[in-house]
A and B are shown apart, each in its own frame.
Chain A
Amino acid sequence: MDFIPKILAYVCTYCTYTAADMAGSARMQYPDSVRIVKYLCTGRIDLLHILKAFEAGADGLLVGG
């Protein structure tokens, strides 16, 4: 079986999340192995959040803000 990495996307609600929303309205798709976690601001992201993601089994992390 092919390895499908689980990617967690930490996104800012005002820019990256809105962009993802617009991409959705344009019927663009992204793999279902990407899970979005919405932040009010990516400035809130802490090293601890990133470590917890890997601890919980994420293979990769995308921060967008």
Chain B
Amino acid sequence: MIIAERKPFKEIAAAVAPYDKILIVGCGTCVAVCLAGGEKEVGLLASQLKLAAGLKHRRIEVGEITVERQCDLEFLEPLCDFVADFDAIISMACGAGVQFLAHMCHFKPIFPAVDTTFIGVNNAVGYYTERCRACRRCYLGLTGGICPVTMCPKGLLNGPCGGTLNGKCEVDLQKDCAWSKIYQRLELEGRLDNLKEIVPLHPHSRGTTPGTVIHPAYRRRYGVDE
């Protein structure tokens, strides 16, 4: 899932300082799980904004709403009428959600309340680690389910660099060398032969942004080429 971190309150408050009617839109999926932008965090931010405005003898109106997913047109469309009553929007979704909401709601200034961090996993409540760089070419089948692109800081695809020492990474000695882990894993599975396969250069050209994926069924039905 997408991991995000709440922005410092000062930054959010400064961004919306000129507005009196603010709508905070939360997202009930990834950012809710990583405790950054779900329904509860929307309530907390709304309280913070109102209390901070009260201290400056200002009275502001703060609307709160949380949709299931801000990156999904189906959930976002019903919001459009709701937004009309407000001067500005704060989105607590990841960058994708903020942009989609901005696209849907014309003429309304929109501000992000979280910093989108990475695609990762939820190890425990409050402890998230990165696992995927969304690099558009997956090697996990070859590497025993350990991603060399993400877990190796150098993103090496054909074995470790010269800096690996006792299974640790030279970039950060606290961390395991991704390729040591891959070797151990493949050894356990009896698939060390995988390492003899030379992986060609990573297709970085595919990583040109922004990416688009069109499902074959969608293409068949609507005849979209690009």
A interface residues with partner B (beta carbon < 8 Å): 46-48, 51-52, 54-55
Contact = CB atoms under 8 A, between A and B. Distances in A.
5 contacts: A48-B40, A51-B43, A52-B47, A55-B51, A55-B54
Contacts, number: 18
B50 interface: yes
Contacts of A46: 40
Interface of B: 40, 43-44, 47-48, 50-51, 54
Question: Considering residues A46, A51, A52, A54, which has the most beta carbons from chain B within 10 angstroms of its beta carbon?
Answer: A51
A4 B48 CA distance: 24
Given A51-B44, A54-B47, 4 more contacts: A46-B40, A48-B40, A55-B50, A55-B54
Nearest to B62: A55
Question: Considering residues B43, B48, B51, which has the most beta carbons from chain A within 10 angstroms of its beta carbon?
Answer: B43
Q: Do most interface residues of chain B lie in helix, strand or loop, or is the interface mixed? A: helix
B51 A54 contact: yes
Contacts of A47: 44
A51 B64 CA distance: 15
B131 to A, nearest CB: 30
A46 B41 CA distance: 12
Contacts of B43: 48, 51
Nearest to B44: A48
B22 to A, nearest CB: 15
A26 B128 CA distance: 54
Question: Can you list the 9 inter-chain pairs with the closest CB atoms, starting with the nearest?
Answer: A51-B47, A48-B43, A55-B50, A55-B47, A48-B44, A55-B51, A54-B51, A52-B47, A48-B40
